[in-house]
Amino acid sequence: MSKKVRSVRVPKELETLNLSGIIRECESHLRDLESATLLKQQGNQEAAEALMKTRQADLGRKIGKLVWEARVQYGKSRED
């Protein structure tokens, strides 16, 4: 089911974006989704919801940090 991407167009500011890091974070998020599903099936609705709320905020923060780091790197390269 895996599909390879041949090309991706990104703004110059994001050329140094760590795509592997983003994929790693998404994989971790998917594992947590599976854990939340299992918790929900076992009748622990509150724990499942708490896990998802925490991970969604965490995922957004981590991806935002990766984008910010890429923009900082771009800014440094423009100064040189």
Residue % of the chain over a pLDDT of 70 = 91
Report d(CA 70, CA 14) in Å as an integer. Answer: 5
pLDDT category at 77 given cuts 50, 70, 90 is: confident
The predicted model scores a pTM of 0.67
Domain boundaries, the chain: 20-77
Contact 25, 45 (CB under 8 A): no
